[in-house]
Amino acid sequence: MSTAERTEAAQDGRLGRGVPLAFGIDIGGSGIKGAPVDLTSGELTAERVRIPTPSPSTPAAVAATVAELVAGFDLPADVPLGLTFPAPIKHGKVSFIANLHQSWTGVDVPALMSEATGRPVIAVNDADAAGVAEVAFGAARGVPGVVLVTTLGTGIGSALVVDGVLVPNTELGHLEIDGEDAERRASSAVKEREGLGWEEWAARLQRFYETVEMLFSPDLIVVGGGVSKKHDKFLPLLRTRAPIVAAALRNSAGIVGAARLAAAGHR
């Protein structure tokens, strides 16, 4: 089936028949992206749609944008909906928030989004969703034991998966290392802001990864985020006991992971 045919099929609901499907949404500070996902392969079954995150990014405004995004796909009623959120999510509620409006703190995200879309919704931290996707379909597929997935971007996100089971909300980018919040020294945003070369930035990453490796003894470390497209520039400079590899799913990881968790009924 061609991309155009897949898009048409998803829009008229035909992919809901015979294909195990869930819909994933990735909420970010600048954009809200979504697409239906084939749960057997982890592939998007239609072109991803992106709508700019509203400003101010209040709960009501973001919920309305999510509803608009979902309404653009004629999804069968039984297709589950999962979304990522750029904050820790505990029992559905936002613990604290950095990259969206501060009024999100304490909000029950699944309840809000269910009301907006008229569908059952699960919500998960964005890095956790990426980790689930990489373990199920990406660079960590088939790897037993402890897998640590990190996302390098505005901050440093983390997901810890043990024998396929997610340990949620690890937030390892906020570890204090050498007296400073780790992501304030080693995120890819810091690299750009301070004009760091690859070797200088890799030295900062080395300190982060050697610390988390000491704490968790992972069997595999997966590095994602937009900068992972240039993994050949910095991953070979890092020295870890566990293999350290680039993420495979790139910008689709959050959507795919959220869809998979929605199908599993994750809470």
The span from the CA of 41 to the CA of 256, in Å, is 10
Local confidence pLDDT in tens for the 267 residues of the chain = 343 444 344 444 444 455 699 999 999 888 999 999 999 999 999 999 999 999 999 999 999 999 999 999 989 888 999 999 999 999 999 988 877 899 999 999 999 999 999 999 999 999 999 999 999 999 999 999 999 999 999 899 999 999 999 999 999 999 999 999 999 999 999 999 999 999 999 999 999 999 999 999 999 999 999 899 999 999 999 999 999 999 999 889 999 999 999 999 865
The span from the CA of 171 to the CA of 130, in Å, is 13
Q: Is 194 helix (H, G, I), strand (E, B) or coil?
A: helix
Identify the CATH assignment for 139-248 out of 1.10.3720.10, 1.10.10.200, 3.30.420.40, 3.90.1150.10: 3.30.420.40
For residue 80, give the nearest of 130, 49, 124 by alpha carbon. Answer: 124
Q: Is 263 helix (H, G, I), strand (E, B) or coil?
A: helix
Contact 174, 181 (CB under 8 A): yes
Domain 3-128 identical in fold to domain 139-248:
yes
The span from the CA of 161 to the CA of 215, in Å, is 14
Place of tokens 């500070």: 29
CATH superfamily of 3-128: ATPase, nucleotide binding domain (3.30.420.40)
- Burial (CB < 10 A; 0-12, 13-18, 19+), residue 18, is exposed
The span from the CA of 240 to the CA of 237, in Å, is 10
Instruction: Give me the residue spans of the domains in the chain.
Output: 3-128, 139-248
Q: Is 45 helix (H, G, I), strand (E, B) or coil?
A: coil
Strand partners, 156: 152
